[in-house]
Amino acid sequence: MKMKITIPFKTPTINHLYWHRGNIKIMKKEAKELREEIERLVDKEIYNCEADYLRDKELQVTVEIYEVWHNLDGSIKKKDISNREKFLIDSVFDALGLNDKCIFDNRFIKKGDEEEEKAIITIREAINERV
């Protein structure tokens, strides 16, 4: 069983979503609004059974980020997808009632797309490869 969720817009990096006061990290208003939008996109009626099945299981999560990754000259743009990971995963998992402590296999993949910026998150039970 797997869930596939599409976030139909570009998600900002963690650097743009928080501000710091000393050692304290505080979520900006924009980040709170974005988290609420992601929660609205995750239709709990559709995903309820799948989320219940996956709850407390070891999970594999694959996130595909679609956008333009190269400059016009062919060089790679300075875009770090790992800075998007925590906020995106936390937002989706909170909306589904899942706990990110259950993620045992986590993959982020850059996919080129000049037409549409989006993220596709696939959540499934991890394949047990223990010996």
Predicted confidence (pLDDT) per residue in 23-56, tens digit: 888 888 988 999 899 988 887 656 767 788 899 9
Number of separate domains in the chain: 1
Enter the pTM of the model: 0.84
What residue numbers bound the domain in which 16 lies?
Answer: 2-125
Half-sphere exposure of 28 (CA within 13 A, CB side): 13
pLDDT tens-digit profile of 70-110? 999 999 998 888 888 888 999 999 999 999 999 999 999 99
Burial 14-46 (b: 16+ CB within 10 A, else e): beebeeeeeeeeeeeeebeebbeebeeebeeee
Q: Is residue 98 included in any domain, yes or no?
A: yes
Q: Would residue 131 count as lying in a domain?
A: no
In a domain? residue 71? yes
